[in-house]
Amino acid sequence: MLDIKQIRDNPQLVQEKLNTRGNNYDIQPLLALDRQQRELEAKRNQLQARSNEIAKLIPEKIKAGGNPKGEEIQALRDEGSSIKADLGTLEPLEKDFTAKINELLLALPNLPSDSTPMGKSEEDNVEVRRWGDEYIPQNPNIVPHWEIGEKLGILNFERAVKVAQSRFVTLVGAGAALERALIQFMLDRHIAAGYVEVIPPFLINSESMTATGQLPKFAEESFKCASDDLWLAPTAEVPVTNLYRGEILDSLDLPIYHCAYTPCFRREAGSYGRDMRGLIRLHQFNKVELVKFVHPSTSFDELEKLVGNAEAILQALQLPYRVIELCTADLGFSSAKTYDLEVWLPSSGKYREISSCSNFMDFQGRRAQIRFKESGKKGTQLIHTLNGSGLAIGRTMAAILENYQLEDKIQIPSALQPYLGREVL
């Protein structure tokens, strides 16, 4: 959530930054409500001050010899009663304005960081670097991962449709083993890099979804339980970030690094007709997520380290990839700066996203009210949060099935062989 004070003090700058996102975000209705709310607040404060003054005056005048039933005392009492009635009218009005302001604030995305490239679409994203060109297979006969997976009997989409619907998959035999191996491999690597593993709830309440920016904007993208205020986790970012919601942390405990495996559930409502086959865009998929809680002064350095942690997995698996810096128009709703990692998929001759690493700055911290306190300093500060996939498991499997394809079998990356106890599928 953006800071209403920042919007109030620098409306032109905020509007200009929002405009770089490519949507029609108008802060004028918000500013108008804010002015009205502050006018009401000022009036209420004046009335409350006068009410307090009257409450002191009456006993003082009586003590000084005034007649408790005299006109002067009665006039003060009548004025106090009138003020109390006015306050009773103003307070709900002020709460109504506050609620409307919060509703508008929740609909505004984060402001792009000063270092985020300007752009009007994903075509303006900036390639930062590539890695692993020497590992790009030269075999011209590579088939899509779903074809080799079905041929080997490790992916079954038809039976998954029978059990659920389209955009689900059943992993069979070595396919299930490969999925588990990838999860364990990634967790082991991230724990060795300093992350503390957590297994959070996979069902989360609306307050948690709102705190990280999924609600209200992305309600249609998420699966909600019909009888409860619970949603299926769209990513581990949501439950892990909310572990600290409403808390004041000690600056000495920062940075806090967590990694978590969770199944993820998304409707993919805005992607109809895209990637209907294979493992790229499923309603249910597994992911290992990296989440950081850091001091504001270090958050951009921590973003670079986070990207490095995700890259280390791809490098260990010897999967060719590139790093893309997203432009302002392609940023996620809550992000101030994002790097995407895109892995090479030979069957399509394209790089496809496998991880998105973002710095949210204080956007989620404000929504979730996660603060920290520094020793010797008054007050608290909002935490900066970051997260990134380390990695999306299904997309990693797809990349392995294509980049390590050898006619009717799959070579297992050497780093995964100890987890699977075999060299080929």
Active site residues: 266, 281, 353, 356, 395
Collapsed DSSP state (helix, strand, coil) of residue 392: strand
Rg (CA), the chain: 28
**Lateral strand order in the sheet of 371-373:** 248-250, 371-373, 381-382
CB atoms within 10 A of CB 312: 16
d(CA 258, CA 190) in angstroms, rounded, equals 9
For 102-152, give the secondary structure using H, E and C: HHHHHCCCCCCCCCCCCCCCHHHCEEEEEECHHHCCCCCCCCCHHHHHHHH
d(CA 90, CA 86) in angstroms, rounded, equals 6
- Spell out a b/e string for 192-202, using b for 16 or more CB atoms within 10 Å of the CB, else e: eeebeebebee
In this structure, the chain runs to a length of: 425
Residue with tokens 């890695």: 131
Question: What single-letter amino acid sits at 87?
Answer: L
Tokens standing for 104? 């508008």
d(CA 135, CA 259) in angstroms, rounded, equals 28
Q: Are 357 and 345 in contact (CB under 8 A)?
A: no
- DSSP secondary structure letter of residue 413: P
- DSSP secondary structure letter of residue 269: T
CB atoms within 10 A of CB 281: 17
CB atoms within 10 A of CB 118: 10
